[in-house]
């Protein structure tokens, strides 16, 4: 089966083409091509994502990216790896009779910025009509979970099996829009054995700002460009190397609360007050504060994760979302998983941010059963279909 993934939930325009199969009852996939066009530079002057600008850019980028994606997929075939022998024929035929061998179009339906999401959905509808392929709407957060199960993100690569999940599993989703702890269980009633089928229950989430949003806002306070996460991380690493620490101790919000919820807006405000009280932003002050902020975020996420591992008896932890690119956090999560003797699945750094590979992969999962199972605290449905 060939699946086209479309992702336009925020400021990345992304398309991916994957092929899937079942071998001996086990799901396998390979990546034909995966492209991400980042708009970060365009949004940087606004200090965050400007939705109408994102929409306009997605509209402009999608057709260009699609052409490149299909070309790259054909090159994959030409490079001798015998990828989908009929893909080239299919694409050439497309010129004559508008037929293309794409079985499913998986598109992010949310959560995300509405004008940006619509661009991807409308594009998917247009292609669906043209190619007579069904559309599967995908939850972006499920994408971040499933994307972390890929062993390799290399295009034109080998067939791969997903990393095995020992249940129950937990996902810690840390992105620019979300901070969630999700419990994952097997769908016992699944009739489809080769495809993993999961039930997700959100057991904790942020009460206000997402962790990536806090990184971005703190970066802005420190006069660093958007997106701020990588810049804060760079300063914090430098501070540790130079042994510079902050004289200001930042709070670890909700660290002692009994639930698995998070709150990051107070942390951001504490940074604001620290900067206001300091008066002048010296180089060393910035380094120390970035380090203290990264420490505070790490302590907070790690403490909640530990609590959740203990409470749910999780045997696997998946971390996903843009903030999972953070090396300091990754190292801490690795330590924690080793201490508990459980598996930790992190996405490769290339696909920790938004991408369409993860969306195409979820499309494969849902093709036959289409469960719509993401729930907040076991009750509220997050997706509104
Ligand atoms: O998942 P993502 O690409 O987009 C959303 O779905 O929100 O996450 C983007 C977020 C941004 O807030 C960005 O600052 C943050 O991920 N981020 C990082 C790092 N790289 C990206 N945060 C901390 N450290 C990083 N190295
Ligand atoms: Zn995301």
Ligand 1 center to 220 CA (angstroms)? 14
Q: Give the CA dihedral 137, 140, 142, 145, nearest 10 degrees.
A: 140
Asked whether 175 lines ligand 1 (CB < 6 A), one says yes
Q: How many CB atoms lie within 10 A of CB 211?
A: 27
**In contact, 333 and 302? CB cutoff 8 Å:** yes
Q: How many CB atoms lie within 10 A of CB 191?
A: 8
Report how far residue 360's alpha carbon sits from residue 76's, in angstroms, rounded to the nearest whole number.
18
Tens-binned pLDDT, residue by residue, of the chain (385 aa): 899 999 999 999 999 999 999 898 888 999 999 999 998 888 888 878 888 999 999 999 999 999 999 888 876 655 544 444 445 455 555 544 445 678 999 999 999 999 999 999 999 999 999 888 899 999 999 999 999 999 999 887 689 999 988 999 999 999 999 999 999 988 765 444 556 678 899 999 999 999 999 999 999 999 999 999 999 999 999 999 999 999 999 999 999 998 999 999 999 999 999 999 998 889 999 999 999 999 999 999 999 999 999 999 999 999 999 999 999 999 999 999 999 999 999 999 999 999 999 999 999 988 765 544 333 333 233 333 2
Domain 211-341 grouped into CATH 3.40.50.1220:
no
Ligand 1 center to 177 CA (angstroms)? 9
pLDDT number for residue 373 = 36
The predicted model scores a pTM of 0.89
Helix (H) or strand (E) holding 82: none
DSSP per-residue letters across 143-188: HHHHHTT-S---TT---EEPPPPPSSEEEEEE-SS-EEEEEEEE-T
Topology of domain 2-163+349-369 in CATH is: Nucleotidyltransferase; domain 5 (3.30.420)
Cis peptide before 354 (omega within 30 of 0): no
Taking the CA of 356 as reference, the closest ligand is 2
140 labelled as ligand-binding? Answer: yes
Query: Residues of CATH 3.30.420.40 domain(s) within the chain?
Result: 2-163+349-369, 211-341
Q: Whose CA is nearest to atom 23 of ligand 1?
A: 229
């Amino acid at each position: 089966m060939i699946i086209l993934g479309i992702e336009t939930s925020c400021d990345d325009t992304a398309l991916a083409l994957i092929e899937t199969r079942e071998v001996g009852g086990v799901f396998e996939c390979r990546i034909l091509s995966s492209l991400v066009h980042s708009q970060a530079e365009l949004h940087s002057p606004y200090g965050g994502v400007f939705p109408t600008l994102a929409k306009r850019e997605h509209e402009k980028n999608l057709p260009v990216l699609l052409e490149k994606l299909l070309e790259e997929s054909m090159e994959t075939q030409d490079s001798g790896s015998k990828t989908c022998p009929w893909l080239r024929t299919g694409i050439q035929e497309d010129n004559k009779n508008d037929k293309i061998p794409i079985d499913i179009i998986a598109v992010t339906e949310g959560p995300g910025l509405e004008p940006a999401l619509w661009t991807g959905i409308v594009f998917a509808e247009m292609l669906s009509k043209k190619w007579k392929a069904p559309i599967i709407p995908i939850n972006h957060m499920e994408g971040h979970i499933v994307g972390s199960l890929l062993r390799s993100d290399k295009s034109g690569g080998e067939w791969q099996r997903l990393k095995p999940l020992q249940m129950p599993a937990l996902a810690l989703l840390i992105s620019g829009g979300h901070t969630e702890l999700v419990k994952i269980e097997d769908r016992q009633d699944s009739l489809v054995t080769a495809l993993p089928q999961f039930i997700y229950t959100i057991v904790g989430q942020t009460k206000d700002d997402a962790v990536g949003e806090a990184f971005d806002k703190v970066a802005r306070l420190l006069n660093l460009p958007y997106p701020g996460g990588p810049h804060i991380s760079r300063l914090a690493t430098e501070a540790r190397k130079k042994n510079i620490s902050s004289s200001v101790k930042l709070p670890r919000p909700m660290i002692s609360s009994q639930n698995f919820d998070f709150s990051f807006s107070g942390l951001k405000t504490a940074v604001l007050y620290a900067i206001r009280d300091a008066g002048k932003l010296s180089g060393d002050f910035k380094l120390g504060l970035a380090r203290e902020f990264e420490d505070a975020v790490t302590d907070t996420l790690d403490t909640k994760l530990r609590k959740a591992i203990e409470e749910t008896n999780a045997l696997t932890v998946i971390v996903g979302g843009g903030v999972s690119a953070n090396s300091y956090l990754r190292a801490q999560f690795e330590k924690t998983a080793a201490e508990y003797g459980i598996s930790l699945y992190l996405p490769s750094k290339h696909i920790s941010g938004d991408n369409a590979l993860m969306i195409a992969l979820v499309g494969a999962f849902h093709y036959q059963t289409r469960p719509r199972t993401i729930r907040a605290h076991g009750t509220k449905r997050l997706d509104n279909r």
